[in-house]
Amino acid sequence: MLQPLLRKARTMKCLLTQSSYLNIQNFPNFNRPNQILNSHFLSPPSLSQCSWISNSRTNSREYCSSSITGVQSMASAKIASDPESISYLNQREAAEIDEILMGPFGFSVDQLMELAGLSVATSIAEVYKPSEHNRVLAICGPGNNGGDGLVAARHLHHFGYKPYICYPKRTDKALYNGLVTQLESLSIPFLSVEDLPVDFSTSFDIVVDAIFGFSFRGSPRPPFDDIIQRLVALGNPDEKNQESPVIVSVDIPSGWHVEEGDLSGKGIRPDLLVSLTAPKLCAKRFSGPHHFLGGRFVPPAIVGKFKLNLPEYPATAMCVRIGKPPRVDISALRENYISPEFSEDQVEADPFSQFQKWFDDAIAASLKEPNAMALCTTGKGGKPSSRMVLLKGFDKDGFVWYTNYESQKAHQISENPQAALLFYWNDLNRQVRIEGPVQKVSDEESEQYFHSRPRGSQIGAIVSKQSTVIPGREFLYQQQAELEAKYSDGSLIPKPKNWGGYRLKPEVFEFWQGQPSRLHDRLRYTPVGTDGKRVWKVERLSP
Q: Pick out the residues of the known binding site.
A: 144-148, 209, 213-219, 251, 254
Instruction: List the strands of the sheet with 162-166, edge to edge.
Output: 162-166, 135-140, 206-210, 246-250, 272-276, 290-294, 319-321
Helices (H), 84-204: 91-101, 109-127, 144-158, 174-185
Instruction: Look at residues 399, 443, 436 and name the one whose alpha carbon lies nearest to residue 417.
Output: 436
Integer angstrom CA distances of residue 404 from 79, 135, 288, 371, 440: 41, 52, 50, 19, 11
Nearest-angstrom CA–CA distance, 82 and 74: 12
For 319-334, give one letter per residue: b (16+ CB within 10 A) or e.
Answer: bbbbbeeeeeeeeeee
Instruction: Find the helix or strand (DSSP H, E) in which 355 lies.
Output: helix 351-364
Sign of CA dihedral 225, 227, 231, 234: positive
Nearest-angstrom CA–CA distance, 208 and 141: 11
Integer angstrom CA distances of residue 162 from 202, 509, 533: 15, 38, 53
The 3-state secondary structure of 220-244 reads CCCCHHHHHHHHHHHCCCCCCCCCC
Helices (H), 404-541: 408-415, 443-450, 455-463, 473-486
Strand partners, 135: 162
Nearest-angstrom CA–CA distance, 62 and 79: 20
Binding residues for (6S)-NADPHX: 144-148, 213-219, 251
DSSP states of 414-425:
HH--EEEEEEEE
Binding residues for K(+): 145, 209, 254
Nearest-angstrom CA–CA distance, 31 and 300: 11
Distance from first CA to last CA of the chain, Å, rounded? 49
Angle between helices 174-185 and 144-158 (to 10 degrees): 20
Catalytic: 540? Answer: no
* Residue 294 one-letter amino acid: G
Residues 6+ apart with CB under 8 A from 138: 149, 150, 152, 153, 156, 163, 164, 165, 166, 208, 210
Catalytic option among 32, 92, 518, 540: 518
- By annotation, the residues acting in catalysis are 518
